[in-house]
Amino acid sequence: MAVKTKTKEKVIDAAVSLFNTKGFDGTSVREIAKKAKVNVANISYYFDGKEGLLESLVTMFFEGYIKEIEKAFQFLDTHSPKECLMLLVRNVLMYQHEHRHIARFVYREISLDTILIREVMTTYLTKEKFYIKTILERGMKERQFRKVQPPFIIVQLKGMLMMPYLHPQYMTEVLHLFAHEPYFVDHYRKEVESWISYTICGENDSSNKVILQLKS
Amino acid sequence: MAVKTKTKEKVIDAAVSLFNTKGFDGTSVREIAKKAKVNVANISYYFDGKEGLLESLVTMFFEGYIKEIEKAFQFLDTHSPKECLMLLVRNVLMYQHEHRHIARFVYREISLDTILIREVMTTYLTKEKFYIKTILERGMKERQFRKVQPPFIIVQLKGMLMMPYLHPQYMTEVLHLFAHEPYFVDHYRKEVESWISYTICGENDSSNKVILQLKS
Amino acid sequence: MAVKTKTKEKVIDAAVSLFNTKGFDGTSVREIAKKAKVNVANISYYFDGKEGLLESLVTMFFEGYIKEIEKAFQFLDTHSPKECLMLLVRNVLMYQHEHRHIARFVYREISLDTILIREVMTTYLTKEKFYIKTILERGMKERQFRKVQPPFIIVQLKGMLMMPYLHPQYMTEVLHLFAHEPYFVDHYRKEVESWISYTICGENDSSNKVILQLKS
Amino acid sequence: MAVKTKTKEKVIDAAVSLFNTKGFDGTSVREIAKKAKVNVANISYYFDGKEGLLESLVTMFFEGYIKEIEKAFQFLDTHSPKECLMLLVRNVLMYQHEHRHIARFVYREISLDTILIREVMTTYLTKEKFYIKTILERGMKERQFRKVQPPFIIVQLKGMLMMPYLHPQYMTEVLHLFAHEPYFVDHYRKEVESWISYTICGENDSSNKVILQLKS
DNA sequence: CATGAATGAGAGTTCATTCAT
DNA sequence: GATGAATGAACTCTCATTCAT
| Residue range C81-100, pLDDT digits in tens | 999 999 999 999 999 999 99
How many angstroms away from the CA of A198 is the closest CA of chain B?
5
How far is Cα C206 from Cα D215, in angstroms, rounded to an integer? 16
Cβ-Cβ contacts under 8 Å, D121 against chain C: 169-170, 173-174
How many angstroms away from the CA of B193 is the closest CA of chain A?
10
- Residues A206, B205: C-beta atoms closer than 8 Å: no
Name which of A1-10, A204-213, B160-169, C124-133 the model is least confident about: A204-213
Mutating which of A19, A54, A204, A213 best tests the B interface, going by the most B Cβ atoms within 10 A?
A: A204
pLDDT digits (tens, 9 = 90+) for B23-72: 999 999 999 999 999 999 999 999 999 999 999 999 999 999 999 999 99
Chain A residues 60-99 with CB within 8 Å of chain B? none
In order of A189, A198, C157, D192, the CA distances from D160 in angstroms are: 85, 93, 8, 8
In degrees, rounded to 5, the angle at the alpha carbon of residue A104 between the alpha carbons of residues A100 and A110 is: 135
pTM of the model: 0.89
pLDDT digits (tens, 9 = 90+) for A16-50: 999 999 999 999 999 999 999 999 999 999 999 99
Average pLDDT over residues C180-184: 93
Residue nearest to nucleotide E19 (CA to C1'): D41
Residue B1 burial by Cβ neighbours in a 10 Å radius (0-12, 13-18, 19+): exposed
pLDDT of amino acid B204 = 64
Cβ-Cβ contacts under 8 Å, D26 against chain C: 25, 112
Higher pLDDT, B201 or D216: B201
pLDDT digits (tens, 9 = 90+) for D44-98: 999 999 999 999 999 999 999 999 999 999 999 999 999 999 999 999 999 999 9
The minimal CB distance from C23 to the residues D25, D155, D203 is found for D25
Average pLDDT over residues A92-100: 97
Residues 6+ apart with CB under 8 A from B201: B82, B139, B144, B145, B146
How many angstroms away from the CA of B146 is the closest CA of chain A?
9
SS3 of chain B: CCCCCHHHHHHHHHHHHHHHHHCCCCCCHHHHHHHHCCCCHHHHHHHCCHHHHHHHHHHHHHHHHHHHHHHHHHHHCCCCHHHHHHHHHHHHHHHHHHCHHHHHHHHHHCCCCCHHHHHHHHHHHHHHHHHHHHHHHHHHHCCCCCCCCHHHHHHHHHHHHHHHHHCHHHHHHHHCCCCCCHHHHHHHHHHHHHHHHHHHCCCCHHHHHHHHHHHC
pLDDT digits (tens, 9 = 90+) for A195-213: 999 899 877 655 444 444 4
Nearest to D59 by CA among D42, D71, D47, D45: D47
Cβ-Cβ contacts under 8 Å, D165 against chain C: none
pLDDT digits (tens, 9 = 90+) for C10-67: 999 999 999 999 999 999 999 999 999 999 999 999 999 999 999 999 999 999 999 9
How far is Cα A27 from Cα B188, in angstroms, rounded to an integer? 36
Average pLDDT over residues D97-111: 96
pLDDT digits (tens, 9 = 90+) for C46-57: 999 999 999 999
Phi-psi region of C74 (alpha: psi -120 to 50; beta: other; left: phi over 0): alpha
pLDDT of amino acid B7 = 87
- C vs D, Cβ pairs < 8 A, gives 172
In the structure, how far is the CA atom of residue D47 from the C1' atom of nucleotide F2, in angstroms?
15
- Residues B173, A122: C-beta atoms closer than 8 Å: yes
Average pLDDT, chain C: 91
State whether residue A117 sits within 8 Å of chain B by CB.
Answer: yes
In the structure, how far is the CA atom of residue B44 from the C1' atom of nucleotide F18, in angstroms?
9
- Residues B152, A206: C-beta atoms closer than 8 Å: no
Nearest to C189 by CA among C73, C78, C97: C97
CA A124 centroid distance within chain: 12
State whether residue A175 sits within 8 Å of chain B by CB.
Answer: yes
Nearest to C165 by CA among C86, C99, C75, C80: C99
Q: Do chains C and D touch (3 or more CB pairs under 8 A)?
A: yes
In eight-state DSSP terms, residue A145 is: S
Cβ count near D182 (within 10 Å) = 9
| Strand E lies under 7 A from the Cβ of residue C44 | no
Nearest to D174 by CA among C206, C119, A72, A52: C119
Contacting residues 95-134/C vs strand E (CB within 7 A): none
Q: Do chains B and D touch (3 or more CB pairs under 8 A)?
A: no
Cβ-Cβ contacts under 8 Å, B159 against chain A: 156, 159-164
pLDDT class of D107 with cuts at 50, 70, 90: very high
Q: Per-residue pLDDT for C207 more than 80?
A: no
State whether residue A203 sits within 8 Å of chain B by CB.
Answer: yes
- Residues C206, D205: C-beta atoms closer than 8 Å: no
Q: Which nucleotide lies nearest residue C4, CA to C1'?
A: E5
Collapsing DSSP to helix, strand or coil, D1 comes out as coil
Nearest to A98 by CA among A129, A153, A61: A61
Name which of A102-116, B199-213, D55-69 the model is least confident about: B199-213
State whether residue D102 sits within 8 Å of chain C by CB.
Answer: no
Nearest to D208 by CA among C194, C200, C204: C204
- Residues C155, D164: C-beta atoms closer than 8 Å: yes
| Strand E lies under 7 A from the Cβ of residue A83 | no
Nucleotides of E under 7 A from a protein CB: 1-20
Residue nearest to nucleotide F3 (CA to C1'): D39
The dihedral through the CA atoms of B110, B116, B118, B121 has a sign that is: negative
How many angstroms away from the CA of B23 is the closest CA of chain A?
7
Residues 6+ apart with CB under 8 A from A150: A132, A133, A136, A137
| Strand F lies under 7 A from the Cβ of residue C34 | no
| Strand F lies under 7 A from the Cβ of residue C20 | no
How far is Cα A121 from Cα A113, in angstroms, rounded to an integer? 11
Residue nearest to nucleotide F21 (CA to C1'): C4
In eight-state DSSP terms, residue A148 is: -
Cβ-Cβ contacts under 8 Å, A184 against chain B: none
Q: Which residue of chain B is at minimal alpha-carbon distance from A150?
A: B175
Residue B78 burial by Cβ neighbours in a 10 Å radius (0-12, 13-18, 19+): exposed
State whether residue B30 sits within 8 Å of chain A by CB.
Answer: no
- Residues A163, B146: C-beta atoms closer than 8 Å: no
Chain B residues 34-53 with CB within 8 Å of chain A? none
Residues 6+ apart with CB under 8 A from C99: C61, C64
DSSP 3-state percent helix, strand, coil across chain D (nearest 5): 80, 0, 20
Q: Per-residue pLDDT for C106 more than 90?
A: yes
- Residues C152, D188: C-beta atoms closer than 8 Å: yes
Nearest to A109 by CA among A50, A34, A175, A153: A50
Q: Which nucleotide lies nearest residue D40, CA to C1'?
A: F3
Written as one letter, the residue type at C1 is M
| Strand E lies under 7 A from the Cβ of residue D26 | no
Cβ-Cβ contacts under 8 Å, D214 against chain C: 210, 213-214
- Residues C169, D121: C-beta atoms closer than 8 Å: yes
Q: Are D50 and D116 in contact (CB under 8 A)?
A: no
Cβ-Cβ contacts under 8 Å, D158 against chain C: 163
Q: Per-residue pLDDT for A82 more than 50?
A: yes
State whether residue D202 sits within 8 Å of chain C by CB.
Answer: yes
In degrees, rounded to 5, the angle at the alpha carbon of residue C36 between the alpha carbons of residues C34 and C37 is: 60
pLDDT of amino acid A203 = 75
Residues 6+ apart with CB under 8 A from B89: B157, B161, B189, B192, B193, B196
How many angstroms away from the CA of D92 is the closest CA of chain C?
15
- Residues A111, B167: C-beta atoms closer than 8 Å: yes
Average pLDDT, chain A: 91
Which chains sit next to D, with 3 or more Cβ pairs under 8 A? Answer: C
In the structure, how far is the CA atom of residue D40 from the C1' atom of nucleotide F12, in angstroms?
24
Q: Per-residue pLDDT for B95 more than 50?
A: yes
How far is Cα B37 from Cα B22, in angstroms, rounded to an integer? 19
Cβ-Cβ contacts under 8 Å, C129 against chain D: 174-175
Q: Are A55 and A24 in contact (CB under 8 A)?
A: no
pLDDT of amino acid D187 = 95
Residues 6+ apart with CB under 8 A from B77: none
Contacting residues 118-137/A vs strand F (CB within 7 A): none
State whether residue A193 sits within 8 Å of chain B by CB.
Answer: no
